[in-house]
Amino acid sequence: MSQYADTTSMKAVVLHSDVPEDAGMDEKDALVQAAVVSSALSEMGYEPITMPFSLNVLHIIDMLRDLRPVFVFNLVETMAGQGSLIHVAPSILDFLRIPYTGAGTEATFLTSNKVLAKQILNAAGIATPPLFMPHKDYGGHFVEGTYIIKAVWEHASTWLHDDSITHAKVPNHLREAMASRQKRLGMACFAEAFIEGREFNLSLLAGDGGPHVLAPAEIRFDDFPPGKVRVVDYLSKWVEDSFEYHHTPRSFDFPEEDAPLLLRLKDLALQCWLVFGLRGYARVDFRIDSAGNPWVLEVNTNPCLSPDGGFYAAVERSGLTFIQAIERIIKDALSF
């Protein structure tokens, strides 16, 4: 019998991105997350109701008012396929005064716009790779080097491929590469100085007394041939028959000499949580350069909850069950 068997059944809406039939694997993952969260909620005694979040906002508002859920588990990452609209879901829930999981509207907006997020990190004294934009330079003077071109709003790996990396000798070279990439993607882009080195993911989970940093993970680049860029791209995450997918394993095992670095990353992850006012759960991605300096790549307010995702793995490695993690996320949501 479940430990939640005596809990009064209550409605809980699992709100997720609307996924078209022809969507890619990255978008379809929203349905996997909704299913695993719904299963956990059922075991906890809730009555989960999955609901896609679409452009028909008035219909969604009417449905939520009719259902009157005790809370909404917010898994929305896009609206009409656009990451730039990710903050609309928490905005609607704030308007309806319905408790919801994860970051609030402001934090969701600020972290999803990578340019704004980097400015905030810089202002807080947290190192993040310098950025370059076609007509503005928020990261200081241009220097010759290797850059990675990213979409301003989308998760980094969503549109990331080998051809996102370019070496620029002068600003015009970088501007041309950015213009070409932006035209193909159909969305605003920026260039970020590429940090060659190790990559880490630190997941955070709300708990009594504040956020807890879960077991740190390193993404390894095993057997990458000379000249191949070591980066976690779309292939690494979503294309199972690719070289990248099978040669970027996640590792939780570290030698003793990594202990000071891991403590430093833990402290930086907690600083990111406080700077952006995060809630429930999050993930902070880092690169470590050749001198051992950590750089924050991204602060993710709604990391993937799929069973094969990094957050799920970090939860289990930390000695928790997925249901225990979901329970803590909900408890934090209901405390606001």
Task: Specify the pLDDT at position 1.
Answer: 32
Beta partners for residue 79, in sequence order: 82
Residue 113 within a domain: no
Residue range 134-176, pLDDT digits in tens: 765 444 567 889 999 988 886 545 567 777 888 999 888 888 8
Task: Specify the pLDDT at position 141.
Answer: 66
Residue 235 within a domain: yes
pLDDT above 60 (res 79): yes
Share of the chain above pLDDT 90, in %: 69
User: Which range is least confidently modeled, 13-22, 59-68, 95-104, 217-226?
Assistant: 13-22
Residue (of 306, 312, 246, 300) closest to 273 by Cα position: 300
Residue 215 within a domain: yes
**179 and 208 co-located in one domain:** no
Q: Does residue 65 or residue 81 have the better pLDDT?
A: 65
Provide CB contacts within 8 A for 272, sequence distance 6+.
121, 126, 278, 282, 284, 296, 299
Task: Specify the pLDDT at position 158.
Answer: 55
**201 and 330 co-located in one domain:** yes
**93 and 162 co-located in one domain:** no
Cα→Cα distances 77→10, 103, 112, 155, 312, Å: 25, 12, 9, 9, 17
Task: Specify the pLDDT at position 5.
Answer: 36
Share of the chain above pLDDT 70, in %: 93
- 3-state DSSP call for residue 176? helix
**246 and 141 co-located in one domain:** no
Contact 77, 17 (CB under 8 A): yes
Q: What is the mean pLDDT of residues 85-92?
A: 96
Q: Residue 270: give its domain's CATH number.
A: 3.30.470.20
User: Which range is least confidently modeled, 54-68, 85-99, 158-172?
Assistant: 158-172
Output the average pLDDT for the chain. 90
Domain's final residue, options 147, 162, 193:
193
**36 and 20 co-located in one domain:** yes
- 3-state DSSP call for residue 137? coil
Query: Number of folded domains in the chain?
Result: 3
Confidence class of residue 100 from pLDDT cuts 50, 70 and 90? very high
**283 and 176 co-located in one domain:** no
Task: Specify the pLDDT at position 4.
Answer: 37
Q: What is the mean pLDDT of residues 271-278?
A: 98
Residue range 118-139, pLDDT digits in tens: 999 999 999 999 988 876 544 4
Domain's final residue, options 160, 193, 226:
193
Residue 1 within a domain: no
State which residues form the domain around 148. 130-193
Residue 119 within a domain: no
Residue (of 201, 231, 204) closest to 216 by Cα position: 201
Task: Specify the pLDDT at position 22.
Answer: 75
Residue 61 within a domain: yes
Domain's final residue, options 159, 177, 193:
193
pLDDT above 70 (res 2): no
pLDDT above 80 (res 24): no
Task: Specify the pLDDT at position 136.
Answer: 58
Q: What is the pTM of this model?
A: 0.92
Residue range 194-236, pLDDT digits in tens: 999 999 999 999 999 999 999 999 999 999 998 888 988 888 8
Task: Specify the pLDDT at position 143.
Answer: 84
Residue 40 within a domain: yes
**298 and 221 co-located in one domain:** yes
Q: Does residue 226 or residue 109 have the better pLDDT?
A: 109
Q: Which residues of 97-123 are buried (b: 16+ CB within 10 A; e: fewer)?
A: ebebbbbbbebbbbbbbbbebbbbbbe
